[in-house]
Amino acid sequence: MFRGNMARTLGNFIWVTVPLAAALLLLPHREEVNTFAVLLPLLGILLINTVTVVLPYREGTLSRFLLPLVFIILVLDLALLAEAISLSGGAKSPLFPLLLLITAFGCGMLSTPFLSALLMSASVVAYLTASIIFHRPAAGDTQLICSQVFFLILVSFLFQRLSAEARRQNRERSRSMEELRKLADRNRAASGFVSAVSFEMRTPITSLQGFGEMLASKPLDPDTEKEYLAIIRRESENLGRLVEDLLDVSRLESGKATLQRELYPLEKLVEAGLPALEQVCDVRGVVRNFSPDLPPAMVDVKRMSRALNGMFYFISRRFGSGSEVRISLKAEGEELVYTVNVRNRQATFLGESPKLHPMAHWDASEEDLDLAIARRIIAAHGGIFSVIRASGGWLTLVTRLPLALPAEGEVLPGSEPPRPSSASRP
């Protein structure tokens, strides 16, 4: 109301009050009034407000200058109303209540105290000019004029304060609703994250329990016992790695750990993580579309490597062999945009039932642990991570990171990032 519909609200208010005030001129009164002459300024007010109602306020120019425009409209209305007051008896004019209402309503609509005070001053000057200069007051009218000016100032100030308080409460209510929405989103994300952690921990814990019970329950031949011990060791390493990742993310989010940022080419991190896709596709056949002369990103190399590799781990678990993977990396404005597109080519081209598709039973709103860790690491870098399910069986993982340009003469770090093994995750 106070912004987009403010001028129209004022126009509608004038359309209701001005005809009612004009009707008061038809009632008997002590002063002799030229009704036709008084109606002309009132008709001018209605004409101004007709233009006010039909103006295209959604246009950029009018939207930017809305407050000054409303102020000018109010001043014009007050000037015409002051003329009508001078023609209808000055201090004894029945149009003073209309002047009081328009001034108070206008002070309440204007969001800045300066404009409200300026409008109130303009109204007082216009009224004093109309009742003293253009219409000679009687000897006993001084007290009446002073009381009217006093109430004009008092009511205008009261309306301005009440409106300011209403706007403040509205802002606080909007801020509270936004905070509640963010808290609800965080609560849903936390619940999904806990569910993902529980699911990921269940596999190694079940393996440890199962193979441990078999080793303890009966004697086994040396080869079988060696195989079971190897499985227990591998699952223990996976569980330890998972716990370490969770602790690291927790320390980052709580501020107990900081990112060790350095300028590093993001394409090197991507290339280093490709071996994790060996279970689903031929790494040499992965389509890479890297823009030439890509600037480096200011990242924590170890943690960003974990985030990017986590996307490949997710693809390895969710998509079967024969999958098609396309990777692109480009600069857009002040961001580096890293995109991974993947689909199961066999399921798509062999006409496999949609129910049997690798992603048929996965909801993108569900939190996968690898993607959840990647999302939080990317967020700690000031970036954005999103998952998009596209047509044709494609799934798109999009990462946006702030762009960091190297200083003149700066040499990029040359050490290679850790290369994950395809067997590093179950």
d(CA 3, CA 9): 10
Residue with tokens 């997710």: 314
Buried-state track 339-369, b at ≥16 Cβ within 10 A, e below 16: bbbbbbbebbeeeeeeeebbbeeeeeeebbb
Which among 333, 332, 316, 298 has a CA at the least distance from the CA of 371?
A: 316
- pLDDT in the model for residue 4: 46
Using an 8 Å Cβ cutoff, are 385 and 349 in contact?
no
- pLDDT in the model for residue 357: 46
Which among 81, 71, 97 has a CA at the least distance from the CA of 151?
A: 97
The residues of the chain scoring below 50 in pLDDT are 1-4, 348-358, 360-362, 364-365, 405-419, 421-426
Q: How many CB atoms lie within 10 A of CB 251?
A: 12
d(CA 234, CA 94): 94
- Token pair listed for 102: 């328009």
Model pLDDT for residues 126-185, shown as the tens digit of each residue? 888 888 887 777 767 788 888 989 989 999 899 888 888 888 898 899 999 988 888 887
Task: Give residues with Cβ within 8 angstroms of 377, minimum separation 6.
Answer: 249, 252, 300, 303, 304, 306, 307
- pLDDT in the model for residue 8: 64
In 218-353, alpha helices (H): 222-254, 266-273, 301-318, 345-349
C-alpha distances in Å from residue 127, one per residue of 99, 100, 118, 158? 8, 10, 14, 19
State the angle between helix axes of 222-254 and 369-380 in degrees (0 to 180), rounded to the nearest 10: 30
The CATH number, out of the four listed (1.10.40.50, 1.10.287.3510, 1.10.287.130, 3.90.1200.10), of the domain defined by the range 189-254 = 1.10.287.130
d(CA 145, CA 90): 9
The CATH number, out of the four listed (3.40.50.1970, 3.40.50.40, 3.40.50.300, 3.30.565.10), of the domain defined by the range 261-402 = 3.30.565.10
Using an 8 Å Cβ cutoff, are 225 and 215 in contact?
yes
Tell me the residue length of the chain.
Answer: 426
C-alpha distances in Å from residue 96, one per residue of 45, 54, 323, 363, 407? 15, 28, 81, 67, 69
Strands 287-290 and 323-332: parallel
State the angle between helix axes of 142-217 and 113-128 in degrees (0 to 180), rounded to the nearest 10: 170
- pLDDT in the model for residue 289: 92
Task: Give residues with Cβ within 8 angstroms of 306, minimum separation 6.
Answer: 245, 373, 374, 377
d(CA 344, CA 357): 8
Residues of the chain by 3-state class (helix, strand, coil), percent to 5: 65, 10, 25
C-alpha distances in Å from residue 215, one per residue of 99, 201, 414, 426? 95, 21, 47, 22
Model pLDDT for residues 241-273, shown as the tens digit of each residue? 888 888 888 888 788 888 888 888 999 999 999
- Domain positions in the chain are 6-178, 189-254, 261-402
- For the entire predicted model, the pTM comes to 0.54
